[in-house]
Amino acid sequence: MKITTNIDSKWLNETKVKNLLALIPPHLDFFLILALFTLILSPAISTSASAQSDFMAQSGLLGQTGFLGQSDTKIIEPLPSAKPIPPIPKKIMRPVSITGQGEKKPVLPLPPKVDTSVNSVYNSMVEQANAKTFTVVSGSVNGTYVVLANDMSFVLDEPDKMRVLPVLGRGSYNNIYDVLLLKGIDAAIASSDVIEIVKRENKIPNIDQRLAYITALTNEEMHILVSESIKSVEDLQGKRVNFDVKGSGTSISAPFILDRLGIKVQPFFVDASTAHGMVARGELEASMFISPKPVRAIESITASSKLRLLEIPYDNRLEDVYYPATFDFADYPALVAAGKPVNSIAAKTLLITYNWGLNTERYQRTQRFVEAFFSKFYEFRRASRHPKWKEVNLAATFSGLPRFKAASDWLIVDAQVNKSDETIKTQLRQFLEDRAPKYFNKSAPNPLSEEEQDKIFEDFSKWRQKRRS
């Protein structure tokens, strides 16, 4: 019987193996031969298995619970002679999956866990900040719009309740479209004449339904600054005239006025401050600018510049849009002589907003602004605020747009309260005449004057109004 074996040839070359094989008779049972071989080769097999286990342990194939799922297998320590494998840096460590014999495929790390509680707090802060903030787009730094908007911020800002955020704008024309188109704008200051012009352009249909006015603020006068060579509006025919920057209220109003009067000019579009210097140097004949007086950029002009304000007579070609106005010495001492006012024209300045639906968040935000603005309006008349606030009549109307409903509702309630105030004022006067006759009784030797008594009642009315708000 011929026996074949798959034993590695390096073991068959051993002398003791060759001698042993020579002594085994051919008829000996195969299994006895196999047992003898196992006994002889066990040290070599043990050494080979140990080395293989060591390799698998170092390769990560043998874990704490054993090899290939055999949980009763103990951890095999590496041979003392084996070189330790350096630890993998944490930055490049990745979990791996075994997809085949000896093959490792990297698995992308899981995304970091997001703390939902932090997101919730942040989202809440965003909602609160937006709910209490009311943006008002105004005008350029040289005009009056930005001063009026800043006054609103100073008077109405109240921590955790109301924040008015003034935004620099490019004048009435752009402001109107900002309210119509931009999501971040709640209200704007714009002139009535530009509103009429935008409505006639009809770029956006039904503007008189999309827009609403909160209140008429004041008048804004047309200023025409000229050199000494220009004596009348007619003298501007064919001359170089500045209309402020393109897109501003003046760039729309000025050509409209001159066109109504039949005057053709060479138009220029630079900012007002630059244009005033150009007029003084003879590079322009005139510069037009519409804004509530006094305008800071014009106030700064000195008498030495030899510039003056040109008169605009009130013409029936303008009366459907504009109102008569004047400049006097108190407005511009360097440009208007004392006792010689200069006639001009004016449009109304309006605080406008989008005509939001009643149940919308934007309507409620605008309503909160209206109630705060109207309730604290007496604070705008203080000396520290722009003098134009003293001209404002909250009840004044404008036929070109509907009034915002929250504003209309507030005025109706206020009118009823005012009637009640008059009754209370009469009763308070009678009470004081009875309890403090030496101050309030007209027959007393030294009673308070009518002005002093009115001041007390005015302070009392303000006190009651503050308590209501």
- Could you tell me if residue 437 is inside a domain? yes
Most confident of 49-58, 195-204, 262-271, 447-456: 262-271
Report the helix count and the strand count for the chain, using DSSP H and E: 15, 14
Residue 298 falls inside a structural domain: yes
Whether 34 and 78 share a structural domain: yes
Range with the poorest average pLDDT among 10-19, 91-100, 124-133, 183-192: 91-100
pTM (two decimals): 0.60
Specify if 450 maps to a domain. Answer: yes
Position 19 scores a pLDDT of: 62
Asked if residue 99 belongs to a domain, the reply is no
Question: Do the domain assignments include residue 239?
Answer: yes
Q: What is the CATH number of the domain that holds 190?
A: 3.40.190.10
Same domain, 162 and 76: no
Is 374 within 8 Å of 392 (Cβ atoms)? no
In a domain, 82, yes or no: yes
Q: What is the pLDDT of residue 27?
A: 56
Q: Does residue 357 share a domain with residue 430?
A: no
Closest CA to 144 of 305, 396, 331: 331
Q: How many domains does the structure of the chain reveal?
A: 3
* 318 within domain boundaries: yes
The pLDDT assigned to 253 comes to 92
CB 142 within 8 A of CB 273: yes
- In angstroms and rounded to an integer, the radius of gyration of the C-alpha atoms of the chain is 46
Ordered DSSP codes for 388-447:
GGGG--TT---TTSPBPHHHHHHHHHHHHHHHHHHHHHHHHHHHHHHH-HHHH-TTSSSP
261's CB contacts (< 8 A; 6+ apart) are: 233, 315, 317, 318
**365 and 453 inside one domain:** no
Are residues 80 and 203 both part of a single domain? no
* Pair (399, 283) in one structural domain: yes
Whether residues 269 and 131 share a domain: the answer is yes
User: Where among 94, 116, 134 does a domain terminate?
Assistant: 94
Q: Assess whether 385 and 267 both reside in one domain.
A: yes
Between 172-181 and 192-201, two packed helices, what is the crossing angle to 10 degrees? 60
Residue ranges making up the domain that contains 385: 125-403
Asked whether residue 116 is assigned to any structural domain, the reply reads no
Judge residue 180's burial from the number of C-beta atoms within 10 Å of its C-beta, 0-12 exposed, 13-18 middle, 19 or more buried. middle
* pLDDT surpassing 70 at residue 25: no
**Which of 403, 425, 448 is at the close of a domain?**
403
Q: Which residue has the higher pLDDT, 107 or 78?
A: 107
Task: Based on the fold, state whether residues 209 and 349 are members of the same structural domain.
Answer: yes
Q: Which among 371, 403, 435 is the end of a domain? A: 403
Whether 183 and 328 map to the same domain: the answer is yes
DSSP-derived secondary structure letter, 92:
G
436 pLDDT higher than 50 = yes
- Where in 23-95 does DSSP place strands (E)? 62-63, 66-67
According to the model, what pLDDT value does residue 70 have? 42
Residues 132 and 238 reside in one and the same domain: yes
Looking at the structure, do residues 294 and 222 belong to the same domain, yes or no? Answer: yes
